[in-house]
Structure 1
Amino acid sequence: MNSFSQNSISSYAELVAGHTTVSILILDANQRLCFLNPAAEILLGTSAQKAAGMRMSEIVDIRCDLAKGMQRISETNYPYTEREVELRLFSGESSVVDCSLIPLTEHDEDNHVLVEIQRVDEQLRLINEDRLINQTRASADLLRGLAHEIKNPLGGLRGAAQLLEGELEDESLREYTEVIIGEADRLQTLLDRMLGPSRPPRLEETNIHEVLERVRTLVTAEAGESSLQIKQDYDPSIPTIMADPDLLIQALLNIVKNAAQTLNNSGEIQLRTRILRQVTIGHKHHRLVCSLEVQDNGPGVSEELQKTIFLPMVTGRAEGTGLGLSIAQSIIHRQGGVIECNSRPGKTIFTLLIPLEE
């Protein structure tokens, strides 16, 4: 069995720390940084040389109680972990991480603590995405079954009202049959809207920026002379995508109009496009994905509502129907993509991910 010298072990430790994707930091008893590995430098957006001697709170806002954790491990000599905490850089970027504090007690009289920070954004995104896709499928199946059960008696009700109208001699009584026929037609229209577009997507080469500009023009015209601002941040390198432009306009129009109504036509909406690489949607991996973001600076969507916001008849506005986002999700899902929502007060982002496949 091979034996290693202390120097060899230290060399291997430095090699591992330099190549792992886990961010590794070492703090002294005063929470000052003594060491950062390359992954930690990338995560915190600073160099080890620049961060040396600084407190964690001077570099990053991490919603993990470091003082409490360090106190606990000094008393128990056991590691301390907090999961899914928010890490926010002062540049405004944020991520979700698992944070572990591990005591370095052996041969260490200064009570140094090793901090492991692992990003869990991607795992959480995939879990949330899977939930959204399953929600969309379950909702579509439920609505199809519900529509079938309602349409048959509704058609019979309308037909009977028409027959009755033909038998009535008193013109004043026909007012009631007209009400029945009109309400039956209204319910039929509502069912059709709940089911979304019935035709399959007609895929063709589509310039996504032309679609976005069409949506921007429509929403701007509807807002009139209000103080609503719609800004563009487009990536001109995005190629044409295989999509149904009419359905894409419908999906994006639902999202952008929803944002405008939330802002009461007084605020800012940003339309942003980017190319993302190596993205998994559902259980399928894509080399390139087109990301379309609709961001507004409104009051935000509550955490509870975010979990169900794409379900039919779910809305955060008293005057809303709860159909727009459900239909938009269904349209994008049928084109192999998904819509995600991330929100906090002052910043709500709906992200449409559409595969860029040949």
Structure 2
Amino acid sequence: MDAQNILESITTSVIITNKFMEIIHVNSAAESLFSSSKEVLKKSKLRDLFANDKSIIINQVYDAIALNQSSTSRDIEISLKARGRHNVDCYVQTIFFNKDKHVLLEMRAQKRIKNIVENAKFVNQNNATEMITRSIAHEIKNPLGGIKGAAQLLKKEIKEEHKEFTNIIIDEVDRLKNYIDKMHGPLDLPNFKDINIHLLIDKVIKILGIKSINYKKNYDPSIPTLFVDQDMIIQILLNLLKNANEAITETGIIEIKTRIDRSFTINSIRHKLVAVISIIDNGIGVNKDIANKLFLPLITDKEKGSGLGLSISQKLIQINKGIITFEEENKKTIFKMIIPIEKY
């Protein structure tokens, strides 16, 4: 493996400049951090990327060029011209190519570290939920079968006028069984195929009848087709968009934003590219008492909610090698579907 391939495989953002601070190399993670392509970045000087010329990182690079001095800055806030503010750890050192001095910068975004930790938490939470629900389902479904069988036998022995009571028993047993089955997620094997995620979003918006004044689409047309189970993705979108629509007021807005992210880790597997579908609403928000338990079954603050929508959605997205995350920012609720891009 050559040096360039090694740099591409690194999840932290790497930039190499010459002694004039002209960028000569960036890896994919740096493209993502600075929201720009390699071709554009290589035509820039390092200081052009920052909103503030007095950035700590610029000073680190000056020291590396003038004094051959390596340095590390922890959890510093940087302002980028292209993509707002970030907190990063930054390591800077002098390196030499063909006796010419260069500077290597390695930046690790704190938010990415936080995302990896949060994603692991969601996965672990879902795995624990699966074990609990399987155990509960087994303990409940066995006696339910006996109750239904007894009610069917009793129905044959009693008078017609009393059969409505056995019918109630049988119907309620069936309802409980279906409820428990839903907690497990889909029973059918997934049917993976290439789909256009934007067409599915548009379809779900029509199904839910969301008014045009209550949503805006912010699509990235460069996202390629995703290799997923179409019905599962539709069900997830139905759950997320329905929740957002119920949370907003008559003049509220739901933003459906799609983007590509790079070097994203899901369930300990790093994917070179992922599609991020964000459902952002400015509604009433999520009750703080349940914010850390949203993806557990039977957790809801809705009067008529079942508490299964998000739990089932998380299971469905995992079948498609993805994950759903939740965050709140600037008084907005954000749910993200993150799905690996396998063909690019």
Fold-level match, TM-score > 0.5?
yes
Residue aligning to 2:54:
48
Structural mapping, 1:1-358, within 5 Å: 45-48=51-54, 93=84, 95=86, 119-169=109-159, 171-220=160-209, 223=210, 229-263=214-248, 266-302=251-287, 305-344=290-329, 346-358=331-343
Q: Once the two structures are superposed, what CA deviation does each residue of 1:260-280 show, in whole Å capped at 9, x if it has no partner? A: 112256511111111111111
Change (3 A) 1:161 1:228: farther
Query: In 1, Cα distance between the equivalents of 2:301 and 2:77?
Result: 25
Residues 267, 296 of structure 1: 8 Å contact kept: yes
Distance apart, 1:314 and its partner CA? 1.1
Contact 1:227/1:266 (8 A) holds in 2: no
| Closer, same or farther: CA 88–301 of 1 in aligned 2, 3 Å | farther
Q: What displacement does 1:344 show?
A: 4.0
In structure 2, how many angstroms separate the alpha carbons of the residues matched to 1:341 and 1:88? 25
Deviations 1:242-284 (A, max 9, x none): 1111110001110110111122565111111111111111211
Quote how far apart the aligned CAs of 1:173 are. 1.6
Gaps in structure 1 of 5+ consecutive residues: 1-14, 20-37, 50-80, 99-116
Code of the aligned partner of 1:237: S
CA–CA separation in structure 2 for the residues paired with 1:131 and 1:242: 25
Does the CA-based 8 Å contact 2:249-2:283 persist in structure 1?
no
Structure 2 CA distance, aligned partners of 1:227 and 1:332? 27
Once the two structures are superposed, residues 57-85 of structure 1 have per-residue CA deviations (whole angstroms, 9 ceiling, x without a partner) of xxxxxxxxxxxxxxxxxxxxxxxx9x989
The farther-off stretch of 120-129 and 191-200 is 191-200
**Secondary structure in 1 matching 2:153:** helix
TM-score when normalising by structure 1: 0.67
1:153 positional shift:
0.8
User: Separation in 1 of the partners of 2:22 and 2:291?
Assistant: 38
Is the partner of 1:351 in helix, strand or coil? strand
Structure 1 residue 86: deviation in Å?
Answer: 9.3
SS in 1 for 2:290: helix
Letter in 2 for 1:181: I
Structure 1 residue 46, shift from structure 2 partner: 2.7
For residue 144 of structure 1, report the CA deviation from its aligned partner. Answer: 1.9
- Shift in CA distance, 185/338, structure 1 to aligned 2, threshold 3 Å: same
Shift of 1:185: 1.2
In 2, distance between residues paired with 1:185 and 1:84? 55
Cα gap change, 1:284 to 1:264, in 2 (>3 Å): same
Over the matched positions of the two proteins, sequence identity in percent amounts to 38
Deviation at 1:177, TM superposition (A): 1.0
* 1:18 Cα deviation after fit: 11
Judging changes above 3 Å, is the alpha-carbon distance between structure 1 residues 355 and 294 closer, same or farther for their aligned structure 2 residues? same
Query: 1:283 & 1:211 partners in 2: Cα distance?
Result: 28
Deviation at 1:160, TM superposition (A): 0.6
Q: Residues 168 and 95 of structure 1: is their aligned pair in 2 closer, same or farther, counting only changes over 3 Å? A: farther
CA contact (8 A) 2:274 2:340 kept: yes
Q: CA deviation at 1:120?
A: 1.7
TM-score of the superposed pair, with normalisation by structure 2: 0.70
Tell me which amino acid in the other structure corresponds to 1:209.
Answer: H
CA change 1:200–1:47 in 2 (3 A) is farther
Indicate the SS of the match to 1:307.
Answer: helix
Aligned to 1:58: none
Paired with 2:271 and 2:184, the residues of 1 have a C-alpha distance of 28
Does the Cα contact within 8 Å between 1:41 and 1:48 map onto a contact in 2?
no
RMSD: 3.4
Displacement of 1:327: 0.8
**Alpha-carbon deviations, 1:28-78, whole Å to 9, x = none?**
xxxxxxxxxx99985x733339xxxxxxxxxxxxxxxxxxxxxxxxxxxxx
Deviation at 1:168, TM superposition (A): 0.4
